[in-house]
């Protein structure tokens, strides 16, 4: 049985992840010349994005279902190299887009080991990865705005599910390249020093303010959606 999400704001009938994604219409948010970008992240009550280096320690079944439903609403999954190294990933129907300046990506990572995966690497490097099972192309630029435009023009990508991590988020957000933030709050306290938070690096100047679209609840986890443009 699918997880059920209670609608806290605005109020309404409970919904499944599939029903929520039917309302999303992410592609309609795409500005001229680039895909729409929805940033999907999870944090603990004390602001951590991982437990022992992995996000799965914060998740529950409802988060898992909504996470994959949001992927299904997009044409591509955008992720930083550090997150790929931590989570490995695996087979996916969507185009996998990895931002990696160093190209420090092992062919044993799940996303590169799946033979049916289509992968685009955004990089400034002229090098290439070691041979791997996935089909890999390179988009060589240091400008993420240009990279998004080329994903739209060359690959027909109209909607992107961005799964971080914090360094990639810090590159996208100040340039106005994120249209929505889907932020899950896990009822978990993690603790520890030097936490990995939602956005790493310099202060956002000016700070960004989101417009709340919905708040959902399932088994104590809160699922929020903010419009950023």
Q: What does the pLDDT look like over 98-149, one tens digit per residue?
A: 999 999 999 999 999 999 999 999 999 999 999 999 999 999 999 999 999 9
Sort residue 203 into left (φ over 0), alpha (ψ -120 to 50) or beta.
beta
- Would residue 25 count as lying in a domain? no
Domain that holds residue 135: 35-190+211-224
CA distance 86 to 88: 6
- Would residue 44 count as lying in a domain? yes
- Would residue 26 count as lying in a domain? no
In the block, residue with structure tokens 């090098």: 127
CA distance 229 to 219: 30
Total residues found in the chain within this entry: 229
Which H helix or E strand runs over 110? Answer: helix 110-113
**For position 157, which CATH number holds?**
3.40.430.10
Q: What is the pLDDT of residues 148-186, one digit of tens each?
A: 999 999 999 999 999 999 999 999 999 999 999 999 999
Write the burial class of residue 25 (CB in 10 Å: 0-12 exposed, 13-18 middle, 19+ buried). exposed
Q: What's the mean per-residue pLDDT of the chain?
A: 95
pLDDT at 204: 86
Q: What is the pLDDT of residues 78-91, one digit of tens each?
A: 999 999 999 999 99
Indicate the pTM of the whole model: 0.95
- Domains identified in the chain, total number: 1
- Would residue 139 count as lying in a domain? yes
In the block, residue with structure tokens 């690497």: 121
- Would residue 202 count as lying in a domain? no
- Would residue 206 count as lying in a domain? no
Instruction: Name the maximum alpha-carbon separation found in the chain.
Output: 52
DSSP-assigned states of every residue in 35-55: -EEEEEEEE-TTS-S-BTTBG
- Would residue 97 count as lying in a domain? yes
Mean pLDDT of the 70-82 span? 97
- Would residue 23 count as lying in a domain? no
């Amino acid at each position: 049985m699918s997880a059920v999400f209670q609608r806290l704001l605005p109020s309404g009938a409970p919904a499944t992840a599939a029903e929520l994604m039917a309302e999303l219409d992410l592609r309609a948010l795409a500005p001229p010349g680039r895909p729409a970008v929805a940033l999907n992240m999870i944090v603990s009550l004390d602001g951590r994005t991982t437990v022992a280096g992995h996000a799965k320690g914060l998740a529950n079944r409802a988060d898992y279902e909504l996470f994959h439903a949001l992927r299904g609403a997009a044409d591509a999954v955008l992720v930083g190299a550090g997150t790929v190294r931590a989570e490995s990933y695996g087979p996916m129907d969507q185009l996998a887009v990895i931002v990696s300046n160093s190209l420090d990506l092992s062919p044993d990572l799940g996303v590169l080991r799946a033979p049916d995966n289509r992968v685009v690497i955004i990089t400034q490097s002229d090098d290439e990865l070691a041979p791997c099972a996935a089909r890999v192309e390179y988009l060589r630029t240091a400008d993420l705005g240009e990279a998004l435009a080329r994903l739209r023009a060359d690959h027909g990508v109209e909607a992107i599910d961005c799964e971080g991590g914090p360094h990639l988020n810090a590159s996208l957000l100040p340039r106005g390249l994120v249209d929505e933030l889907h932020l899950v709050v896990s009822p978990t306290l993690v603790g520890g020093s030097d936490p990995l938070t939602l956005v790493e690096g310099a202060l956002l100047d000016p700070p960004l303010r989101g417009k709340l679209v919905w708040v959902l609840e399932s088994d104590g986890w809160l699922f929020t959606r903010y419009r950023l443009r």
